Chains A and B, each alone.
Chain A
Amino acid sequence: MAHKTLHLTIVTQDKQLLSTEADSVTAVTSEGEITVLPEHVPLFSQLVTGELVYRHDGEEDSLVVSKGFIDVGPDSTVIIIVDSAVHAREISIEKAEAAVKAAQETMAMSTTTQQEMIMAEASLRRALLEIRVAQKTKRATRV
């Protein structure tokens, strides 16, 4: 092989979202942002809600992923295990904005239980991130 690639698999709780070749993968772990290149040392780390970017043949694709794990195998396989993931191009800004509003309302109510509070906070963080990523990619395509 002329140049090695990573085999990237993204599984979410609902389905196997993606299985593809990639030249590099950038993700946000609990220790900070990392970029995985082919023949990376085997690594297992925790992911936090954030943007995941993978590049292949000079093209860049990004997803918004929630909490989960990244598993870099010894044979250049990367498995991303997350609760949910959305492609940047599939994000609807209106939907995300509605989610932000709903989450803020839930958090404003004083009667909510702790668990509801945590869930609302998580969905708020995700929705805000979705909006940011969507705006960023829109700008990129326009330029």
Chain B
Amino acid sequence: MANTRQLKGRINTAANISKITKAMEMVSASKMRRAQQQAMATRPYTRAIQESLQKVAEFTDSLAHPLLAHHKDGKDILVLFSTDRGLCGGLNTNLFKSTWMWSKEHPDMEVIVIGKKAIAFARKMDFPIAAQFTDLPEKLTAAEILPISTVITEGFLDHRYRSVSLIYMDFINTLTQKVRTTRLLPLSLTDVVGEQLDAHAQAHALYTFEPDASSILNELLPYYLENTLYQTLLEAKASEHSARMVAMKNASDNAKSLVSELKLAFNKSRQAVITNEILDITTATMTVSQ
């Protein structure tokens, strides 16, 4: 009997867990859809800014702007885009593994962390934290980026930071997210321009700039910087919700199969008890009637 009662308790627990994970799956699914849409919707803007920067870059001295200049002072900065909450599968683990690898290559480093999970990780690994940002709202706006970009730009211009890199989970689709590390500062226009330069160079030979190319560049670079950060944040958010939804879906599926396994065992043991009782009764009647 004790065995049956134990089993019953375990069935209830598993069923309750599956209810919770199912609910979390639903919530993540709706958040995921919104985050994915937002990330997709801003991609044209990002592309347009990049293309503009390409065009302008062809007409300016690419080292004229302080954001483009290389200098040797200060530390290497890594901006770590993690999540505030857990239960999102291997997302943070993968992210932190790559972060650790990065820190091996850059001994003189500091991190700027986004998300509570990253703070805990940085504390544990004894990474010096330059700045931390948590509890970003669910519905992100470009204004959220301003404090982050201000910290980064000022640190770089004051020669406190030598370079700034971003590490985040790039959203590919609901099932796949990849760790991606990109160099943000010093901006290298060759990265932005890439291979397209040659093909476009002639078509843009006649461009007119008003007021002039270098002042356009001065205006455009902060935009590019903020937008890159914003887009990264959106991608990271979309990845987080996708990963959480998939993790929760797996959890509910596992809980359900556990419930059905336990039910089978429970039914078997109940049947065993009944059979034993019948055996007892038949034996008793047979003894009495003899």
Binding site for B on A (CB under 8 A): 9, 11-16, 29-31, 41-46, 69, 71, 74, 79, 81, 83, 115, 119
Seed contacts A11-B44, A69-B220; 10 additional CB < 8 Å A-B pairs: A9-B48, A11-B48, A13-B227, A43-B208, A44-B207, A44-B208, A45-B209, A69-B52, A71-B52, A81-B52
Report the Cα distance A10→B223, complex, angstroms: 16
Say yes or no: is B45 at the interface (Cβ < 8 Å to chain A). Answer: yes
Neighbour of B230 across the interface among A13, A30, A31, A74, CB < 8 A = A13
Listed residue (A12, A13, A29) with the most chain B CB atoms within 10 angstroms of its CB: A13
- Top 6 A-B pairs, shortest CB-CB distance: A15-B41, A16-B44, A45-B210, A42-B207, A11-B45, A43-B208
A-B contact pairs, 5 of them (CB 8 A): A15-B41, A16-B45, A69-B223, A79-B52, A81-B45
B206 CB-CB contact with A under 8 Å: yes
Cβ contact within 8 Å between B45 and A29: no
If A30-B211, A71-B52, A74-B206 touch, does A46 touch B45 (CB 8 Å cutoff)? no
Chain B residues with CB under 8 A of A43 = 207-210
Q: Given the complex, which residues of B lie within 8 Å of A115, measured CB to CB?
A: 146
What is the size, in residues, of chain B's interface with A at 8 Å between Cβ atoms?
Answer: 30
Please measure, in the bound complex, the distance between the C-alpha atom of A119 and the C-alpha atom of B141, giving whole angstroms.
Answer: 14
Centre residue among B44, B52, B204, B230 by max chain A CB count within 10 A: B44
Cβ of A46 and Cβ of B219 under 8 Å apart? yes
Cβ of A44 to closest chain B Cβ, rounded Å? 5
B142 CB within 8 Å of chain A: yes
Complex: A43 Cα to B216 Cα, angstroms = 12
Known: A13-B227, A13-B230, A69-B220. A44 touches B55 (CB 8 A): yes
Fill in one digit per residue for B5-35: 1 if any A CB lies within 8 Å of its CB, else 0: 0000000000000000000000000000000
Cβ contact of B216, chosen from A11, A12, A41, A45, cutoff 8 A: A45
The answer, among B42, B209, B215, for a CB contact under 8 Å with A14, is B42
Min CB distance A110 to B, Å, is 22
Query: Is the beta-carbon distance between A74 and B204 smaller than 8 angstroms?
Result: yes
Q: Which residues of A contact B56 (CB under 8 A)?
A: 44
> In the docked arrangement, what's the CA distance between A9 and B219, Å?
21
Residues of B close to A45: CB separation below 8 A: 209-211, 216
Do the beta carbons of B42 and A15 come within 8 Å of each other? yes
